[in-house]
Structure 1
Amino acid sequence: MFGFLSSLKVSAEKNLKNITLGTLAAVLTVLPVYAQSRLVFIYPPINLSLGIDSLELFANEGVINKELAYYMNLAGVNDEEKQAFREALLKKADLNPVEVSRFFNSPMGQELLQRVGHLFSIQGGRNGVYAIRGAMVQAAFDEEEGLTLLNFLRHLPVNMQFNLEEILRAATYLELLGQGTNAIVTEMKSISAQTREQETVPNFSNIRDIRQRGDYGVGPSRRLRLFDESRQREFDVVLVQPQRWREGKTPVIIFSHGLASRPEDFKEDVLQLVSYGYVVALPQHPGSDFNQLQEMLQGFSREIVKVDEYVDRPLDVSYVIDELERRNRREFEGRLDLNNVGVMGHSFGGYTALALAGAKLNFDSLEEICGRNLWGPNLSLLLQCRALELPRKDYDFREERITSTLVINPVTSAVFGPEGLSQVSIPVLLAAGSSDPATPAAIEQLQAFVWINTDDKYFALVEGQAHVNFTKLDAQMQAVLDSLPDLTLPNQKVIDTYGNALLVAFAEVYTAKNEEFRPYLTSSYAYYISKEPNPLHLVQDDAEIPFSELFNRSKSARSRAIYPRNIIPSND
């Protein structure tokens, strides 16, 4: 789900900076007004309007009538931008209309439209959520033209207004977030360079390349069906073991998948760990997995994620450890070290891992952030704000058998906040991407890293990484990607090699307790394996170069994006 939304967001971000009155519909909503309807632009005391028939004439015949010419001249639109706008009006989004309808009737889909409807409302100011949803669904069902921006506009039942003051606030927020992210990248480079000067490391060309598979091979994998009687919850876990066993105890890693995902999506990634002698368990979290998404799209459920998943996900992992303890003697000859388990997770799985590491749900933080009219580009808040539906109590998911955690693009800022994340005290490696619109690094990961209260913590940033592995999208999502203009995808093969190295290095040092691998957890090693156009930066928060320097140096641009109270007002 975040894969689809992230793809749209990556494309839209490039256009927001050049918002103009004449092209506002195309740029901001990337949504498709009947020809008799008008678009109204409100920027007190200015009140202007544009007929949809003017846009239709321009899109179909390339003719710019007097009305549209006024807006284009006002905005200073050049010939290249005019052509791009015309193409955007007619570009078809190849989406299943039934699934479009079901998604926007789900709680997360409704919330997304509610936020858009605050910017693009019915004339007079009423939220445009229902008009937008109806027009999108009708356009998607149009067999002849399909879901295009122009066809969407044709199907709007009433005049709609763009609330330019709020839109420009949102655009400013997005621009500030971009500046903040750029500041983080710049400071990561600077601090990494300073750190490399102080590090004493081996010649990496002369030692083992941990990007390559290990010596223990990959043995059999199996899918187990587990039933937790205390919760009446049944779920699968994929268990993968090495071909040959280590001497002594065998370390165990548990990997938690993200929203609308499944264990198999990460199996190739964890096989690197298995080849280094680890047993890896990948639980499937029903209620927030790929099957739940399919149930929603097929009409068997209204929800992409069940709110109880905030509770059930960490309990699933604890139950997997319980199950491995029951099986350890008879199936593994007592080899498994289940007192030093490592937990890893991606996105919503990152929430899961951090909750198990001791992070506490923070309802005060959730209420404050989710109560704002706008969230800017942080798509993960669609997920995080669902946690407000939980019963209010002190949830404690800390799993003492888990002694380290590695999280990738984790969901953190609202659901935990500074108070919740300060409860984490075990070693943490937090990985982020500079182009992630689902969980933006400046908001979701950098803050989390500073708030986490442990001496052993690492921050890894990959330039250009955008939350999802674009090579693993299904055909429909790939079609959506292909329809987006000017979309530059990261080099996934290179990013995968970073993952191979970091997973092994962190697990060896903090789960297997093997100090020989510590040189790989350095800025020098990250620099050694880093490749353009998606370089890797790795920094440890230590006494010599406190990570808070990065937080402080990039504060001017970054903090205004993270805390845009003067840009985006609350509902009060």
Structure 2
Amino acid sequence: MFGFIASFKCVFNKKVKYLTLATLAASLVVFPVYAQSRLTRLVFIYPPLNLSLGIDSLELFANEGVVNNELAFYMNLAGVNEEQKEAFRQALLKKADLDPVEVSRFFNTPMGEELLTRVGKLFSIQGGRNGKYAMRGAMVQAAFDEKEGLTLLNFLRHLAVNMQFNLLEVFEAASLLERLGEGTNAIVAEMKTLSSQQAQLETVPDFSTLGDIRQPGGYGVAPSRQIRLFDESRQREFNLLLVQPQRWREGKTPVVILSHGLASRPEDFEQRAKQLASYGFVVALPQHPGSDFNQLQAMLQGFSREVFKVNEFIDRPLDVSYVIDELERRNSREFGGRLDLNNVGVMGHSFGGYNALAVAGASLNFATLEATCNQDIWGPNLSLLLQCRALELPRKDYNFRDERVTSALVINPVTSAVFGAEGLSSVTIPVMLGAGSSDPATPAAIEQLKAFVWINTDDKYFVLVEGQAHVNFSQLDGQMQAVLDSLPELKLPKQQILDTYGNALLVAFSQVHTAKNEQYRPFLSASYGNYISRQPNPMYLVRSEAEVPLSELFNSRRTSRLPAIYPRNFIPNND
């Protein structure tokens, strides 16, 4: 297959060929079917050509490092060097330490099956039928193999039918991946330029003489407490983690609600809540049953067939409104009437970011969902596995806007398909959007930067952190950590640096837009972003004025500055 890719160098440059070698072409094998004496084959279709490669060649290469004549033909055509040969060999033999039962259960969920369906459009049963069931069976069988485990080579051995790579689609997917990378690099460069330009126009104090809002404030933090809530109208019971200051500030006490992401839990954000509480805020962190850590565990343990329940698109924003209602009921007897519940801030991460934008006024957009989710190739955007399930909801207008919510801070939110331009244009309150340049789940170039342009408010901010990759890697379980450890080329961000950014910006944004304290406005500046930015994960902060140049960057399809980074038929405009 290496030679086949080389034959089409007019379409793909050398970088793409190597990416394909390292990811997709590592699967170029033929494998034995144990119930039969013959060898099945894996075919590579690029009409009108039809090629294949034998597993015996790959097994000889993987086990002994010997390149026979058949494999040498492809490698010579592709110009594969010794370093690339060794990387390919290691890719064939690298074991993924995953629980085979959990692998089976995940790929039997709607989300797991949709992932396989998408891959199955590229890697199908010979003749063109989607290969998802063959892949699922082979993956599970390989994972159960006590001797070798789940390796790429062992996975391919367990495929029970002839399979084919549909190279037109494979090349298109690879092209989208490369264009996303190029687009992200262009946006990082633009954000760096814009933050520098905005900083030059700002009149700001000497930040070294001001208090360091990356550190805890002076109000102290009381012991956190759990409250069990029951919304009778929905028959929904869930926990609320409440974090409050040790002593009260003068006047009204501002309130922030913090919504966790998919398969997460309130406790994962408790330290961030304590930082805010130390500045005099009450922070409420609701559990979202049906899309939290417990739901994930129920799936992995065989008690559920869903990673999350589709009704969470409705229940999550309603949870936020119910928490505000509950705090209003408790305000007098538990908080002495101190809580300001007419100016509530909402923070959300990932699916929680969807949640915060929904109560801020963003509306579900089924037309955009249909246009995006029905495409043959989605491109490199894993969040569509979540967003596209919203198509299972009853088709009607959903209005989750809660007028008591007056600001929203969202980190790595999902936005592009579930809201789109029309849905996000209804958001008119202050918003801060946070994104990472290395986020595979909600790519910044697709999910957040365009949302910054679409959101219809003059008081908005965009924060981009180089190397941020969606999750807090310090909170991963042992099995996921083992998977990351098996990827030696993966460079993880410095979580301590990310935490300082999060502490500072959450305090600054909440003080200005929830507590209405203008003294903290200087911290919401490009200058302050540059001041606290640290290598190897620099941060760039821009304000509303960046909307025009970022919009031009996104719509510059006529130039080479930023390639099209959206799937075909989904390059939105601002008309």
Smaller-chain TM-score bracket: over 0.9
1:160 to 158, 163, 178: 163
Partner of 1:137: 140
Tell me the distance in 2 between the aligned counterparts of 1:358 and 1:28.
46
Tell me the distance in 1 between the aligned counterparts of 2:552 and 2:394.
37
Tell me the distance in 2 between the aligned counterparts of 1:232 and 1:445.
34
Partner of 2:76: 73
* Kept after mapping to 2: 8 A contact 1:32/1:148: no
Cα drift, residue 70 of structure 1: 1.2
Tell me the distance in 2 between the aligned counterparts of 1:68 and 1:50.
8
Q: For 1:354-395, what per-residue CA distance to the aligned partner results, in whole angstroms no more than 9, with x for missing partners?
A: 000000000000000000111111000000000000000000
Tell me the distance in 2 between the aligned counterparts of 1:473 and 1:308.
26
Partner of 1:106: 109
* Kept after mapping to 2: 8 A contact 1:429/1:460: yes
Cα drift, residue 563 of structure 1: 4.5
1:291 to 294, 299, 304: 294
Residues 239, 463 of structure 1: alpha-carbon distance in 2 compared, 3 angstrom cutoff: same
1:250 to 249, 253, 269: 253
2:456 to 450, 453, 456: 453
Secondary structure of the structure 2 residue equivalent to 1:562:
coil
1:223 to 217, 221, 226: 226
* Kept after mapping to 2: 8 A contact 1:32/1:89: no
Tell me the distance in 2 between the aligned counterparts of 1:83 and 1:272.
48
Tell me the distance in 2 between the aligned counterparts of 1:16 and 1:251.
52
Tell me the distance in 2 between the aligned counterparts of 1:505 and 1:71.
57
TM-score, reference length from structure 1: 0.94
* Kept after mapping to 1: 8 A contact 2:345/2:405: yes
Matched, 1:47 2:50: yes
Cα drift, residue 72 of structure 1: 1.0
Secondary structure of the structure 2 residue equivalent to 1:547:
helix
Secondary structure of the structure 1 residue equivalent to 2:219:
coil
Partner of 1:548: 548
Matched, 1:17 2:20: no
- Please tell me the residue identity of whatever aligns with 1:131: A
Cα drift, residue 18 of structure 1: 2.9
Equivalences for 1:83-232 in 2 at 5 Å? Answer: 83-232=86-235
* Kept after mapping to 2: 8 A contact 1:421/1:453: yes
Q: For 1:314-372, what per-residue CA distance to the aligned partner results, in whole angstroms no more than 9, with x for missing partners?
A: 00010000110011000000010000000000000000000000000000000000001
Partner of 1:412: 415
* Kept after mapping to 2: 8 A contact 1:407/1:431: yes
Partner of 1:562: 566
Tell me the distance in 1 between the aligned counterparts of 2:145 and 2:381.
31
Q: For 1:287-307, what per-residue CA distance to the aligned partner results, in whole angstroms no more than 9, with x for missing partners?
A: 000000001111111000100
Q: For 1:479-525, what per-residue CA distance to the aligned partner results, in whole angstroms no more than 9, with x for missing partners?
A: 00011131001111001100000000000000000000000000000
Partner of 1:328: 331
Partner of 1:271: 274
Partner of 2:318: 315
TM-score, reference length from structure 2: 0.93
Cα drift, residue 27 of structure 1: 4.8
Task: Give the unaligned 5+ runs of structure 2.
Answer: 1-13, 34-38
Tell me the distance in 2 between the aligned counterparts of 1:566 and 1:285.
31
2:447 to 444, 458, 462: 444
- Please tell me the residue identity of whatever aligns with 1:333: G
Q: For 1:256-302, what per-residue CA distance to the aligned partner results, in whole angstroms no more than 9, with x for missing partners?
A: 00000000111111211010010000000000000000011111110
- Please tell me the residue identity of whatever aligns with 1:310: F
Matched, 1:372 2:375: yes
* Kept after mapping to 2: 8 A contact 1:32/1:149: no
Secondary structure of the structure 2 residue equivalent to 1:560:
coil
Equivalences for 1:360-399 in 2 at 5 Å? Answer: 360-399=363-402
Cα drift, residue 550 of structure 1: 2.1
* Kept after mapping to 2: 8 A contact 1:20/1:75: no
Tell me the distance in 2 between the aligned counterparts of 1:79 and 1:151.
24
Segment of structure 1 superposing worse, 121-130 or 99-108: 121-130
* Kept after mapping to 1: 8 A contact 2:116/2:135: yes
2:32 to 31, 34, 46: 34
| Percent of aligned pairs sharing the same letter | 72
Residues 288, 20 of structure 1: alpha-carbon distance in 2 compared, 3 angstrom cutoff: closer
Cα drift, residue 124 of structure 1: 1.2
Partner of 1:349: 352
Tell me the distance in 2 between the aligned counterparts of 1:342 and 1:381.
27
Partner of 1:470: 473
1:56 to 43, 59, 63: 59
* Kept after mapping to 1: 8 A contact 2:26/2:92: no
* Kept after mapping to 2: 8 A contact 1:350/1:410: yes
Secondary structure of the structure 2 residue equivalent to 1:118:
helix
Residues 279, 27 of structure 1: alpha-carbon distance in 2 compared, 3 angstrom cutoff: farther
Tell me the distance in 2 between the aligned counterparts of 1:518 and 1:354.
22
Task: Give the unaligned 5+ runs of structure 1.
Answer: 1-14, 568-572
Residues 281, 559 of structure 1: alpha-carbon distance in 2 compared, 3 angstrom cutoff: farther
* Kept after mapping to 1: 8 A contact 2:30/2:56: no
Cα drift, residue 558 of structure 1: 4.1
